[in-house]
Amino acid sequence: MARTSDRDLFLKRLAKLAGNDGGFVNNESLRTELNWEKAKYRAIHSSLRQEEQIVVKRGRGGLVALAGNKKTERLRLFVSYSHIDKDLKDRLVRHLRPLEHENLVEVWVDHQVQAGDDWDKEIAKKLSQADIVLTLVSIDFINSKYCYDIELEKALEREADGEAKVIPVILRSCLWTKSPLGRLKALPTDGKAVTTWHDIDEALTVVASGVRDAAILLLENA
């Protein structure tokens, strides 16, 4: 008799817990049913998600379902930045595109506001819906009343309420550690500013990898 693989076992137990309606199942419930350690559960979960055999969405402890006709709900990622840093922002967004291809995130930046839209209201709406907020930090970001006093304040309020994760991305050297962002873990490594790296693409790759890890933890919070 062929031995059931861990992947098949995961899918079978998920189907059992989902029942006839094939709904979403809490990750912790499924992991308990499987009696697996977290590391093993997350490894199999990640593999099946990337192969689109399961879909995930946010919820208490993270939720998972068999793919069927369902689609993974990508995390909404809001980018807050000073327009003086537009070129660096554009380069970072390009490095985040692979995360969209993985169905992990949907990136939103303010240039997506359409003609005729109320600019302030649309930005406030997207910020209030975001699961992850990237703050692209520079002295111009800190000195921007809109970025610092409005977007950052709202983002930190939502993080305090457990509604979003704020990730500082240090673009250019400044006294950011003396700001409210100083208590947060920043990217790239050790908060070393992107522009101080010998290879900026390497720095942005580190940022994208860190954002990917954060997104997976939010979606696979087991």
43 with 115, same domain?
Answer: no
- CATH code for the domain of 44: 1.10.10.10
| pLDDT in 10s for each residue of the chain, 222 residues | 446 799 999 999 999 998 888 889 989 999 999 999 989 998 899 888 888 888 888 777 788 899 876 776 789 999 999 999 999 999 999 999 999 888 889 998 875 544 445 567 888 888 899 999 999 999 999 999 989 998 999 999 999 998 899 999 999 999 999 899 999 999 999 999 999 999 999 999 999 999 999 998 888 775
Does some domain include residue 10?
yes
105 with 167, same domain?
Answer: yes
Does some domain include residue 1?
no
127 with 182, same domain?
Answer: yes
Cite the DSSP H helix spans in 51-182. Answer: 86-101, 119-129, 139-143, 152-160
Range of the domain at 56: 6-66
pTM for this model (two decimals) = 0.81
182 with 89, same domain?
Answer: yes
Kindly compute the dihedral angle of the four CA atoms of residues 88, 93, 98, 104, in this order, to the nearest 10 degrees: 130
Q: Residue 69 has what pLDDT?
A: 66
Q: Residue 41 has what pLDDT?
A: 92
Compute the distance between CA of residue 111 and CA of residue 126 in angstroms, rounded to an integer.
12
Look at the chain and count its residues: 222
- CATH code for the domain of 109: 3.40.50.10140
Q: Is 188 helix (H, G, I), strand (E, B) or coil?
A: coil
Counting the structural domains of the chain, the total is 2
Please state, as a whole number, how many other Cβ atoms lie within 10 Å of the Cβ of residue 38: 13
